[in-house]
Amino acid sequence: MNKLYLGAIVVTVLMLIATYVSFDFKHGSSDIVNQIAILGAVVLVIATIFVVVKYVRQMQTDTVTGELMDENWDGVGEYDNPVPTGWAIVFALTMIWGMWYYLVGYPVNAYSQIGEYNEDAKVLNDKFEAEYKHIVGDKLVEMGESVYLSNCAACHGLNADGIDGQAADLNVRIEKSVVKDAIENGSNNHLLGMEMPMPDRNGLFNMNTGALITDAEIDAVSAFVANGMSGAGADVFAGTCAACHGEDGKGMESVSPNIATYDSALVVNVIVEGKKGAIGTMPKMEVLNKKQKEAVAAYVQSLSN
């Protein structure tokens, strides 16, 4: 027997023995992930040895024939050979296996720690909501404070003051800079829990003047809203903003959010969707369950009362 083939057989056997020894059959044989891993190791060993033998043998016996391609690099040319059939088949099989792996095989249908965590988290969240679903009033606010301190205080501060402008000051419903940014740049933050964007200043007309809103009017109405719907700027609000936000600024269902006082649904929507505005971007708080979001909303509402 050719020494090359004999050596390949010996190496294959040794590598398969090493794979067998390293595999924990006692605990891993029932786990599909380990089964796939051991099968992959065996296939890899055999395929590697086969490829090595094939090309070493080819180097020993083949002679170069064919036409050179037009391109060359420093005088070194490349033969215009077709893609090897075996390589093309292996490449196609690899693509098919990859699609199977991601769409049908692991991790979709197999055990995973993330999947187990998600299942456990769902069970605990369902238990939590069932246990506390009847909590309302002051108890709900107390729960919201606890959830706030654990999840929101890092950005908004222990006192919800926004840590010197690093985040929104939740002790006031809205600040002038926030209103001004929304008017100038528009808003598309899903504040109603759905897609209902507010146009930027190029789409805002003052019905009193029949013209686009001006810088002075933006400044006045921003101060008016930030001051709790009082003071100068009331006429600009009535002519430009009231058509969507209502005469009292408390919004209209499926049209615009409440900009006069904190609204529980709006706070929950910000938690769910996140928000981008004058200060920056607030991420979605996906770790909170439904009752915790309701509790945080109740706590935030209590801050400005």
CB neighbours (10 Å) of residue 125? 16
Helix, coil or strand: residue 256: strand
Using a 10 angstrom Cβ sphere, with 0-12 exposed, 13-18 middle and 19 or more buried, the burial of residue 105 is middle
Full-model pTM: 0.59
Residue type, 252: M
Token pair, residue 141, equals: 């606010």
Question: Using an 8 Å Cβ cutoff, are 224 and 231 in contact?
Answer: yes
CB neighbours (10 Å) of residue 102? 11
List pLDDT tens digits, range 219-246: 999 999 999 898 888 999 999 999 999 9
Nearest to 248 by CA among 261, 263, 266: 261
**The tokens 């005469």 sit on which residue?**
247
Nearest to 233 by CA among 212, 218, 254: 218
Residues 6+ apart with CB under 8 A from 178: 168, 226, 277, 278, 279
Q: What is the pLDDT of residue 109?
A: 61
List pLDDT tens digits, range 137-196: 999 999 999 999 999 999 999 999 999 888 999 998 888 999 999 999 988 888 887 878
Token pair, residue 282, equals: 């607030």
List pLDDT tens digits, range 239-284: 999 999 999 999 888 889 888 888 888 899 999 988 888 888 898 8
Token pair, residue 300, equals: 């935030």
